[in-house]
A and B are shown apart, each in its own frame.
Chain A
Amino acid sequence: MVEFTLWDILRNLLLAARWTVALSLIAFVAGGALGLLLVLARTLPAGAVGRWAGRCVALHVEVFQGTPLLMQLFLAYFGLALLGLEVSAWLAAALALTLHASAFLAEIWRGCIEAVPRGQWDAAASLALTRSEQLRRVIAPQALRIAIAPTVGFLVQVIKGTALASVIGFIELAKAGTMITNATFRPFAVYACVAAIYFAMCYPVSAFSRRLERRLNGAR
């Protein structure tokens, strides 16, 4: 049997961590794009269409925030298989994480839009701006400023969420940990390394998000 040094373990884990980063970025970017569409649908004027769009988005948010990410991953994996598609863990994980992130980001951003005082909409409307001009030129720039810190903070949730993709067989950091454990029989050392690598990825993002938030509060 080959003897694994701590360095061997760490090196293999770091190689696998690339896939954690890749999956996180895909889910964050695609989830952000979808979340943006959702939040726009929610700001439609309160007509019949707007009400329906609002309800659909609310349901999407409720379902994806109210159920375990792990179940969402299973459902994406077996659901794609049921549709007769070639199931890859990649695709299922990216799909589930994207939908998951979109719900959370849509909700975060809705909060940011609602944090802009009502009077800003009124003032923009009274100056004859159209609904979309009000949103783009007056509300969005202010909401964006508020949104940056919590959005960056949510990236941490996404990175941690990708660890669950290991369960449907996607080989990233957590899965690599399990595989190396099975080869080395040193679970404590391996999982401690896994945790340390996640920490090294997440902590700077958390700290950055906190700094952004402090700066925003200070500027007010």
Chain B
Amino acid sequence: MVSLDFAAVLEQWPLLVQGIGATIWLVALAATLGGFLGIACAWARTWGPKPLAWLAAGYVESIRNTPFIVQLFVIFFGLPSAGVRLSPEWASALAMVINLGAYAGEIVRAGVEATPRGQVEAGLSLALTPGQVFRRVVVPPALARVWPAMVSQIVIVMLGSAVCGQISARELSYFANLIQSRNFRAFEAYLVATAGYLVLAIALRRLLLWVGPRFLFGTVWRG
């Protein structure tokens, strides 16, 4: 008979809370910086000079076609040989930003390309610079258009951050591993952590879908 002992895991709740906090910190950082990186990338690919467009395309394709764990290992294990030594947490954050930036770049680009030509022309005719037109006329409605896809991608990156425990970044999965190494209740520890991720994913999705139209690009519609 299989016997499960969740009490042995749950009594370590301070560790779990600390892990959830760290995961939230990681995803908040990744979503913010990765979002900006994505917008920059979308700009480079649609409005930028040719060489920059190619560079952005190369970045997007190489990230999208390699596993996150390998990107993380290159940054954490590989970069020190180039003289860049990062703590596990900062390496994780950097990997997540780079990863999300590539996907966000593709997502935002789709939104930008769907912007009617007339919007841009109207902006330019009002003597705005191309940069201003992109930032103020093109990006906000583009973001509004692709926001659901963006939210999904941020959730995917949050779930992917479980891998960061493998380089000893002290996030949720790391603490699950720590707990199971203490009490040998591996299945229970990972099940509790998994439930934590599920709740985080649902909450994060709700939060972002709520926040987006109200605070990020909602002001556009109000003028």
A interface residues with partner B (beta carbon < 8 Å):
62-63, 66-72, 74-75, 78-79, 81-83, 156, 160-161, 163-164, 166-167, 174, 177-178, 181, 186-188, 191-192, 194-195, 198-199, 202-203, 206
Contacts and interface: CB of A to CB of B under 8 A. Distances in A.
Highest count of chain A CB atoms <10 Å: which of B73, B81, B187:
B73
Given A156-B65, A203-B65, A164 B193 contact: no
Interface of B: 2, 61-62, 64-71, 73-74, 77-82, 155, 159-163, 166, 173, 176, 186-187, 190-191, 193-194, 197-198, 201-202
A186 B81 CA distance: 8
A191 B186 contact: no
Contact of B194 (A71, A163, A194, A206): A71
A83 B4 CA distance: 11
The 7 closest A-B pairs by CB, nearest first: A68-B162, A188-B78, A163-B67, A202-B65, A187-B77, A160-B67, A78-B187
Nearest to A194: B70
9 contacts: A66-B197, A75-B194, A163-B70, A166-B69, A181-B77, A187-B81, A191-B73, A199-B65, A203-B61
Contact of A192 (B61, B78, B173): B78
Contacts of B71: 195
B67 A68 contact: no
Contacts, number: 113
Contact of A75 (B74, B190, B198): B190
Nearest to A206: B65
B221 to A, nearest CB: 28
